[in-house]
Amino acid sequence: MKRPTLGLAVAFNRAVRGADEWFDEPDDLDRVARAIGTVDDIEDPVVAAAQLAYRVTWTQGFGEGNKRTALLLARWVLDQNGLDGAIFLPPEDREFATLLVKAASGTDVEAEIIALLIGRR
């Protein structure tokens, strides 16, 4: 299974952040790297994408754009492993977005995100 790198996560985050979303606080790339590393042993791309989306959002390693970066990473995992990320995570996906907001606030919704994406298989 193809897995994302920290460099890819950083590139996605830079792409989604607006000019007004840069602050003096540095990104905590160690937290992002640990979040990405949690999918190292997962062979199911749907589960890996869901867990990655939750973990990147929950850790809040970037100063801004964590949820947007998490979405792009999840879609990338699906796309790179023979699935259509836009079908699993379509634009305007309110259910997924609501779960990411909960994750960003520290709520453990990992199992719910995994179940959501598995249900879309």
Tokens of 121: 């298989």
Side chain identity, residue 69: T
Just give the CATH number of 6-16+26-119. Answer: 1.20.120.1870
pTM: 0.95
Q: Where are the domains of the chain?
A: 6-16+26-119
Q: Express each pLDDT in 57-76 by its tens digit.
A: 999 999 999 999 999 999 99
Q: What is the pLDDT of residue 111?
A: 98
Q: What is the pLDDT of residue 43?
A: 97
Average pLDDT, the chain: 96
Question: Hey, how many other C-beta atoms are within 10 angstroms of the C-beta on 117?
Answer: 24
Output the CA torsion sign for 27, 28, 29, 33: negative
Residues 6 or more apart whose CB falls under 8 angstroms from that of 62 comprise: 13, 17, 27, 28, 32, 69
